[in-house]
Structure 1
Amino acid sequence: MIGEMAGTFLSSWPWMHLGSFKYALYGPMVAKAVEAVRAGRIIDSWWIHLFVLFVLRGFVHQLWFSCSNMLFFTRRRRVIKDGVDFKQIDNEWDWDNFLIMQALLATATISTLESLMEAPMVFLEWRGFIIALVIHVGFSEPFFYWAHRWFHKPSLFSLYHSLHHSSPVPQPYTAGFATPLEHLVQAVAMTVPVFGAILMGCGSIGLVYSHILLFDNLRCMGYGNVEVFDNELFECFPLLRYLIYTPSYYSLHHTEKNSNFCLFMPLFDAIGGTINPKSWELQREISSGKNDQVPDFVFLAHVVDLVSSMHVAFAFRSVSSKPWTTHFILLPLLPIAFTFMVLMWCLSKTFTVSFYYLRGRLHQIWAVPRYGFHYFLPYAKDGINHQIELAILRANKIGVKVISLAALNKNEALNGGGLLFVHKHPDLRVRVVHGNTLTAAVILNEIQSNVKEVFITGATSKLGRVIALYLCRKKIRVMMLTLSTDRFRKIKNEAPQEFQDYLVQVTKYQAAQNCQTWIVGKWLSPRQQQWAPSGTHFHQFVVPPIIRFRRDCTYGNLAAMRLPKDVQGLGTCEYTLERGVVHACHAGGIVHFLEGWTHHEVGAIDVEQIDVVWKAALKHGLTPA
């Protein structure tokens, strides 16, 4: 009975049901550190150093995660090409449990030995580094190697190690995703060299920091799924490949499970006869960058605002894997976000945000380094169009089949819904798609069948025009808010003669004070929303969405569709949308690609194509969100 209880304890975390309250377990360490600060012992307190060390360790994992997932830098050196999906993200959500465990162990150790640790601290002792290195090679490496092989025995694997191997794509956070017993083994391998040097009288603060942080960095590097070493280095120094492992070397253990067991040094796999024969060839292939994949479809996105820029996939996985909302804990990081914004403006290069697979074909999301407010600055128009044009030409060059433009990237005033680029480059092989046909279809299919009258703001825009033309054919009275009589008449003349009377020009919001169906294509202030009667539903295709000011009214989200169930590798939410849901213009590009259509979808929306695109979307498994 005792053995079973111990086994269960060491295979799962005792605080797994505490949620975010688990961080209260850092309380004793933080309290001791605060006490040391109040006593003025900032430099010579082990509690202060312990607190700083664990903050740095968390930062190391975050930094490696961000760097590994900056696809604009790393996409050609990715070892396992698959994306990290929501299931893996959720499984690894509490990856930092091992830091809590080690903090508790460190707190208990320092509390026990505190009287022995009051001697003056040595900040640097070079002999300690040499002793720690010798102990690491002589003890930690073989200890971890044999323990790791022990974990792979059938009787132990399912209980203690299968959890770790359940992550299909290694990530720096995967390094922490393991059972308590595994992390106890790792803690022994990590700390014995340090304690050994201290017991020999050669310990130092510098050794503690450097050894533990180097240990974490090497772990994160191996799990980073991005090859960091050039093959030429190993060709010049062949023995080096036995002294330091690589991400590609570790990936073979993660996928095949029966080889490459070492901690950091493949030398011990060589001694134990467990080196995977594909190790060196795979490293050569990945490091060459020739294993890069060309996406079939690209969605060219843009950042909405400075705060939501931290929703990108390579920033915080816990944020990007959920629908965007303002997180107050991120507000102190605004200076960092601002710095990155300025850097992107200076570099002005399109970058890859994330990717996923649909029907076995690679779909990528690229982003233009421009923020929402930038699109409304008159002097920025040419620069933004230049960036979009470069992205289209790059897609054309590498063989992308369809590129779809996000909301502001196909703004009518900016480039005529993409028409500018098609006219400028008539020989494009890549199909340019604004996706607004499906956006219109989604909005139109949201309107209830018993509606007899609607009110449209932004009525003469690309979407407002086609929605009005479609609804008038259904004998629905459409009040089009516009001050331009010429624009209204032009749209009205496009409608069949027998339906033109259903289009009505209005110039004030007061005209819709009895209409409960508003279609918003131009931003509404709270004061303008007051003209809507109680019970009104606001459909909208305006970016950014309007503020949900009226409690007695309902608000629709931006037009969106749920991706088919066979999507793989999707691990980020698209702005405020749910998991697996994308904006309709994004979905419109996907449908364009899946249907194999060879025309560009730019400029004005063809009202005759709305039902065609809608049926095609449903046929391919996309559903209204």
Structure 2
Amino acid sequence: MASRPGPLTEWPWQRLGNFKYVVMLPWVVPALNTMIKAARKGREGWEEVDMGYVIIFPALLLRMLHNQIWISISRFQTARSPHLIVDRSIDFEQVDRERNWDDQILFNGFFFYIGHALIPSAKDLPIWRSDGVMMTILLHMGPVEFLYYWFHRALHHHFLYSRYHSHHHASIVTEPITSVIHPFAEHIAYYILFSIPFLATIFSGTASIAAIVGYIVYIDFMNNMGHCNFELVPKWLFRVFPPLKYLMYTPSFHSLHHTQFRTNYSLFMPFYDYIYKTMDKTSDELYESSLQGKEEAPDVVHLTHPTTLQSIYHLRLGFASLASRPYSSKWYILIMWPMAGLSMVLAWFYGSSFTVERNKLKHLKMQTWAIPRYNFQYGLSWEKEAINNLIEKAILEADEKGVKVMSLGLLNQAKEINCGGDIYLQKYPKLKLRIVDGSSLATAVILNSIPQGTTQVLLKGKLSKVAFATARALCKKGVQVLLTHKHELDSLRSRISGSAASYLSLSSTSYPQVWLIEDKLDDAEQRKAPKGTHFIPFSQFPPKKMRRDCIYYKTPAMKIPKALENMHSCENWLPRRMMSAWRAAGIVHALEGWAAHECGETVLEIEKIWSAALQHGFLPETQV
């Protein structure tokens, strides 16, 4: 919101939330009905249809797709690009503020449906008219750009700025969709302004579908491009056609408007800033430096992968609003399974990890890389070699770049895949980076999640490295660890020596109130737990919650330090500003400068890494 919100700040359908799309049904349903009838009649049916009318709804969907493509490309580039313009943090507040970017597309739909109904000359438009296209170009260069320049300057007057335009400028580090984040009143003014070419060509009889759709695409393209936080306009473009410098702005040109506020007011064509001497003097210098860029190798890399097919939309590169919330399957995401399936096919052929996120903590520069494989693929025997090759390639690439620590997340450290990362050390004993599986910190988080005064716990599930380490630590503390299968008991006793082993035993018919579980604990097993049982997972994946009378804990995770920058997406199913223990362990490892690897069967000193994590600002989170 603006600092002092004025009238018409809220969108009319704001209180409807995700149900806001129903406001378009009175127009969309008849349009779809017209298309269905035309399709049934065949070629003759389409000849009778007003194409300008039926194309409105598809055009709105294409606008959404166009904007989403820009969001994904921009986030991909800002995670890895050396051409950043403003190297500052984006937070959850900005993501929430920019969540309603599609409101202006709904508003656009209203304009066109109402205009088509009320203006007779807007019906039965031809596909193309050269004179109308030329008129649209000239009207944009003249009245639209001129009026926008002075309206924009007026918006920076204290009265209007505090009531409206400050909402847009709250985003100093811009993303493509920042371009359309304005109060409702501003959008009314913008649509009146942009309607000048539409209405002029319609009333003069020179309008065409190509001119109208092309103008909208141009506005969206320039808006999105100008609000990217990386420079992408090549220098040769201005060298080949020098006047273009006055006819097309660049991301760095407009970025100065968001950092300096009182310069570079132009819409898309900077010549009015040149004419009225409001061009920022550092525009050319920032363009040159942003285009040149600087390579910056990360200190820490966390290597993860998508989980389910739908999780591709939850990645920071996917839908920003979904990524800013804990991951859960949504019905409207499930209906997009064809796109998810296509992403899986593309991932299958992609031969390298890709950068998902970049963060910073104190002096440490961090990135998250993702292996282009999904959960189910890690369980396929014929995929094992390919996955190992991808992980190995990522490790060698990181080592070459000078990365200090690489933490292996999710199934990238599975024993069945690579023995917890140990095979890479055996193959490359001279690696300079340290491989961390995070099991020690995960164990520490579990131990500190168990309610005080607990004397018995049930260990239920596959005995992973974390499960072994947790059981050993509990036995040493005098806590009895119960198991349900004799082979599991024998396996643990072979690893726990001395008097501590006496605290291991098979469970009786009664069960304790604290269960340490993995994600594959089925419904039948959960029903055996007494009422009020604490289910504490030791796996990287959360178990299915099926008991309302029991308490479910999060997978081992910690609250991140306040100083950790650029966190505006959730790590899988974890809440905001929470980080899995496996990922946090890599950061702590680098901050401490430890020389040891933590992979294979190696377990670091649990109390030592727990104390180090707390010292660096990571906090325990035991809420359910």
| TM-score calculated relative to the size of structure 2 | 0.91
Q: How much does 1:392 deviate?
A: 1.3
The equivalent residue for 1:537 is 534
Q: Which amino acid aligns with 1:267?
A: F
Change (3 A) 1:12 1:521: closer
1:269 aligned to 2:273?
Answer: yes
Q: After superposition, where does 1:33-112 map in structure 2 within 5 Å?
A: 33-34=31-32, 36-37=34-35, 40=38, 43-44=49-50, 46-71=52-77, 75-112=81-118
The equivalent residue for 2:524 is 527
Q: Is the 8 A contact 2:80 2:355 kept in 1?
A: no
Give CA-to-partner distance per residue, 1:131-184, whole Å, 9 cap, x none: 111111122111211221222223332223111100122112211111234323
Q: After superposition, where does 1:222-621 map in structure 2 within 5 Å?
A: 222-288=226-292, 290-359=293-362, 361-458=364-461, 460-480=463-483, 484=487, 491-504=492-505, 506=506, 511=508, 513-521=510-518, 523-606=520-603, 609-621=605-617
Q: How much does 1:294 deviate?
A: 2.1
Q: Is the 8 A contact 2:31 2:53 kept in 1?
A: yes
Bigger drift between 429-438 and 226-235 goes to 226-235
Give CA-to-partner distance per residue, 1:422-473, whole Å, 9 cap, x none: 2322222222111110100111111123222222234642112111111111
Change (3 A) 1:170 1:152: same
The equivalent residue for 2:42 is none
1:133 aligned to 2:156?
Answer: no
Q: How much does 1:84 deviate?
A: 2.6
Q: After superposition, where does 1:176-187 map in structure 2 within 5 Å?
A: 176-187=180-191
1:166 aligned to 2:170?
Answer: yes
CA distance in 1, matches of 2:163, 2:434: 51
CA distance in 2, matches of 1:352, 1:558: 24
Give CA-to-partner distance per residue, 1:553-602, whole Å, 9 cap, x none: 33222111111122222111111110001111111112112222222222
Give CA-to-partner distance per residue, 1:272-325, whole Å, 9 cap, x none: 22222222232222223x324322221111111212222111211121111111
Change (3 A) 1:569 1:348: same
Q: How much does 1:545 deviate?
A: 2.8
Bigger drift between 421-430 and 367-376 goes to 421-430
Q: Is the 8 A contact 2:571 2:578 kept in 1?
A: yes
Change (3 A) 1:461 1:180: closer
Q: Is the 8 A contact 2:325 2:569 kept in 1?
A: yes
Q: How much does 1:106 deviate?
A: 3.5
CA distance in 2, matches of 1:243, 1:231: 15
CA distance in 1, matches of 2:590, 2:413: 18
Bigger drift between 518-527 and 124-133 goes to 518-527
User: Which residue of 617, 621, 624 corresponds with 2:620?
Assistant: 624
Q: How much does 1:494 deviate?
A: 4.5
Change (3 A) 1:35 1:421: closer
Bigger drift between 179-188 and 385-394 goes to 179-188
Q: Which amino acid aligns with 1:264?
A: F
- SS of 1:323's equivalent? coil
The RMSD of aligned alpha carbons is 2.5
The equivalent residue for 1:124 is 128
Q: Is the 8 A contact 1:463 1:605 kept in 2?
A: no
Q: Is the 8 A contact 1:457 1:482 kept in 2?
A: no
Q: Which amino acid aligns with 2:253?
A: Y
Q: Is the 8 A contact 2:399 2:431 kept in 1?
A: yes
- SS of 1:369's equivalent? coil
Q: Is the 8 A contact 1:459 1:468 kept in 2?
A: no
Change (3 A) 1:51 1:619: same
Q: Is the 8 A contact 1:84 1:571 kept in 2?
A: yes
- SS of 2:545's equivalent? coil
CA distance in 1, matches of 2:370, 2:294: 23
The equivalent residue for 1:4 is none
Give CA-to-partner distance per residue, 1:45-92, whole Å, 9 cap, x none: 544233233222222211211121124886233322334310101112
Q: How much does 1:491 deviate?
A: 4.5
CA distance in 2, matches of 1:512, 1:270: 83
CA distance in 2, matches of 1:200, 1:76: 49
CA distance in 2, matches of 1:467, 1:312: 31
Q: Which amino acid aligns with 1:293?
A: E
Q: Structure 1: which 5+ runs fail to align? A: 1-6
Q: How much does 1:363 deviate?
A: 2.0
Q: Structure 2: which 5+ runs fail to align? A: 39-44
Give CA-to-partner distance per residue, 1:333-385, whole Å, 9 cap, x none: 11111111111121121011122222253321111111111222222222212
Q: Which amino acid aligns with 2:364?
A: R
- SS of 2:576's equivalent? coil
CA distance in 1, matches of 2:372, 2:227: 29
Q: How much does 1:605 deviate?
A: 4.3
CA distance in 2, matches of 1:583, 1:73: 20
The equivalent residue for 1:3 is none
CA distance in 1, matches of 2:351, 2:516: 35
Q: How much does 1:11 deviate?
A: 4.3
Q: Which amino acid aligns with 2:555?
A: L
Q: Which amino acid aligns with 1:246?
A: T
Q: Is the 8 A contact 1:439 1:585 kept in 2?
A: yes
Aligned residues: 609
Change (3 A) 1:39 1:522: closer
Q: Which amino acid aligns with 2:347?
A: M
Identity %: 34
Q: Which amino acid aligns with 1:616?
A: A
Change (3 A) 1:552 1:68: same
- SS of 1:238's equivalent? coil
Q: How much does 1:224 deviate?
A: 2.3
The equivalent residue for 1:145 is 149
Q: Which amino acid aligns with 2:619?
A: T
The equivalent residue for 2:41 is none
Q: How much does 1:515 deviate?
A: 3.1
